[in-house]
Amino acid sequence: MELINKKYLLLDKIGSGSFGSIYKGQNIRTKEFVAIKIESIDTELNLLKNESIIYQYLNSCTNIPKVKWYGKDKNNYYMVINLLGDSLQNLLNERKRFSLILILKIGIKILNILKLIHEKGLVHRDIKPDNFLFGLNSLYELYLIDFGFCKSYINNNEHIKIKKNHSIIGSLNYASIMSHNCFELSRRDDLESLSYILFYLYDGSLPWNNISDVNDIIKLKTEMINSNRYPQVLMDFYKYIRSMEFEEKPHYLLIIDSFKREIEYLSKNN
């Protein structure tokens, strides 16, 4: 078995991210299990270096993994972080659908995480169920991972301006409409991606799940504003996001309060 940095034993492959592969590893000195992300040194993007810098910048934030080591050898870049549990996607694969109460509780957890990173001047730009992991032995703690596409929305103490990008950023299923149209992303786009996650958890699928044509996906997402297939509390959230301006700061706490009120109502009436 391969030894990284004379300290971390490379064990089983457990997944892949927006770049490279992710392995379970173990610190041979402390016996602690860790996650090791590996990116080929030949890659042009070098997203792993960017991600390690962002993790270190967010080191004081809860619900974000901690970087234990970043380095390279002649073949690869490596980043060692906390080993976490199953993803939100894996849990959905097991349960097929979630109750509205559980969906809203998950939504609150994610909103708190997004509020935290947004307050640090960052947008994640790849919000999807695979990038939220539960604690190693707990379904109560939720962590956001995979910051390879993360970017600052603040430049010289001012919000960046809207502009065209060369390509879509993020996953087709969860990308915002602005991302599909190759525009610069801001805080509202992370929240729009969250709304698609909540719809997905409620229905077990999305209307565009099996569609590959980008124009068809854009059309379906654009028409979502008039959908009646989802609970009102989720649609109110979605309509609010779709009404936001590019530089606008989201009202995280008002959204969280609306979710909490719905949870209280459902708990009393079920």
Q: What percent of the chain has pLDDT over 90?
A: 84
Degrees (nearest 5) of the Cα angle 155, 156, 162? 35
* Catalytic-labelled residue, pool 86, 126, 213, 257: 126
Strands (E), the chain: 3-4, 8-16, 21-27, 33-40, 67-72, 76-82, 122-123, 132-135, 138-144, 151-152, 154-155, 158-159
Q: Out of 3.30.200.20, 2.40.40.20, 3.40.50.10210, 3.40.50.261, which CATH number does the structure's domain 3-82 have?
A: 3.30.200.20
Degrees (nearest 5) of the Cα angle 212, 217, 221? 155
CATH 1.10.510.10 in the chain is located at 88-269
Does domain 88-269 fall under CATH 1.10.510.10? My reply is yes
What is the end-to-end Cα distance of the chain in Å, rounded?
A: 53
List, for residues 164-185, the tens digit of each pLDDT value: 988 899 899 999 999 999 999 9
Task: Judge whether 189 counts as a catalytic residue.
Answer: no
For the chain, the residue count is: 270
Residue 7 is classified by DSSP as T
List, for residues 110-142, the tens digit of each pLDDT value: 999 999 999 999 999 999 999 999 998 878 899
Closest by CA to 259, choosing from 109, 95, 89, is 109
Q: Answer for the pair 25, 11: CB distance below 8 angstroms, yes or no.
A: yes
